[in-house]
Amino acid sequence: MSTSNKKIFCSVVIPVMNEEENVPLLHQAISEVMQAWGRPYEIVIVDDGSTDRTFPLLREIAQRDSNLRVVKFRRNFGQSAAMGAGFELARGEVIVTMDGDLQNDPKDIPMVVEELQKGYDVVSGWRKNRKDKLIIRKVPSKIANRLIRKTTQVTLHDTGCSLKAYSRDVVNKISLYGELHRFIPALARVEGARIGEVVVNHHERKFGQSKYNLTRTFRVIMDLTTLNLLLKYLTKPLHFFGALTLLFNTLGLGTLLYSALRIAQNRLSTEELNVLMSLGFLLIAAGINFLLFGLIANMVVKTGKKRDERLHEVVAY
């Protein structure tokens, strides 16, 4: 049976960028583990715009190993985009993600998958004995973990660990952008996923340079804000747009009442009156628009829910 037609049990998805020293060792380590495990597998590596020899090396390895599939981005789009591309290409019933810097241990893959098969939809690794030396990584990571746990209500010890296992159903429902790959368990929870955690090994980086910097921390905070809005209002968008409607209409009516009061006191020039009246009506119009957006969004959500219910009924029978 050809590789393209055989049924894949596990897809290992790995985003990489400028990891020329690591990718041959990574491929070898994963291949040894997966072959010893004895389950049909594939390795999907997404080159996120590397400028070194990462892609040529991967292309050479792929010519020798039909289990390796390689995606090349023309430029760097970020880890979430790379992981999303890997998800789209992956054919496995179970999908495992990990970093390409050899800090995650491929030997943990069977353990994480076996934990997933205990009834979870997502299983996240916990780097309990993390080997990162730099305080610029450890301290922000601990702060970020606390913020993410508080915001998402997903009680994982280590939200930033890339070594995770997912069921195919969960992966099919998730869209990634920005730095949202860190929040996949939270996005999965919105879909009703059951989430587990297991302690995994972690190693020091031996080759290459870390891609972590303070700019990335800022992006993570911005995406966490977006995620917070999604978790609160994804199923009830009218609450969000209704609050904006109330705010803008209140400001608009307040502006108009202020204008009327100033007119009654003969303290308002024609130019000032025109500006205040225009501002007042503009704010009210914006409020009405937000209300319409909310009603449309609410209809879309309810239509989607009814469609899901019909699909579930079909599956049940």
Model pLDDT for residues 125-150, shown as the tens digit of each residue: 988 887 766 655 556 666 666 666 66
Matching residue, tokens 């130019």: 271
CA distance 210 to 215: 13
For 211, residues 6+ apart whose C-beta sits below 8 A from its C-beta are: 17, 79
Please report, for the chain, the start and end positions of each structural domain, with discontinuous segments joined by +.
10-233, 237-316
Please give the Cα distance from 102 to 30 (Å, whole number). 10
**What is the rounded CA–CA span in Å between residue 199 and residue 128?**
6
Q: With a threshold of 0.85, does the pTM exceed it?
A: no
In this structure, which amino acid lies at residue 53?
Answer: R
CB distance 208 to 22 below 8 Å: yes
Q: Which has the closest alpha carbon to 137: 63, 53, 197, 204?
A: 204
**Distance, CA of 279 to CA of 287 (rounded, Å):** 12
Give tens-digit pLDDT for 58-111. 999 999 999 999 999 988 888 888 888 899 899 999 999 999 888 899 999 999
Quote the mean pLDDT of the chain. Answer: 80
Q: Which of 78-92, 209-223, 254-268 has the lowest mean pLDDT?
A: 209-223
Kindly state the average pLDDT of the residues 140-165. Answer: 73
Which overall architecture, per CATH, does domain 10-233 show?
Alpha-Beta Complex (3.90)
For residues 222-251, average pLDDT: 74
- Two tokens, residue 106: 């491929």
Task: Give phi and psi for 195, each to the nearest 5.
Answer: -120, 130
Lowest mean pLDDT among 45-49, 266-270, 277-281, 300-304: 300-304
The predicted pLDDT at position 127 comes to 85
Read off the tokens for 159: 């939200």
Which of the four pLDDT bands, split at 50, 70 and 90, describes residue 265? confident
Residue 2's pLDDT is what?
42
Report the C-alpha gap between 177 and 80 in whole angstroms: 5
- What is the per-residue DSSP string for 182-249? GGHHHHHHHTT--EEEEE--B----SS-----HHHHHHHHHHHHHHHHHHHHSS-HHHHHHHHHHHHH
The predicted model gives 190-212 an average pLDDT of 78
Residues constituting the chain = 317
Three-point CA angle 86, 90, 91, nearest 5°: 175
- β-strand partners of 166: 95, 122
CA distances (Å), 25 to each of 44, 106, 276, 295, in order?
15, 11, 68, 54
State which H helix or E strand residue 24 sits in: helix 23-37
Residue at token pair 């704010």: 283
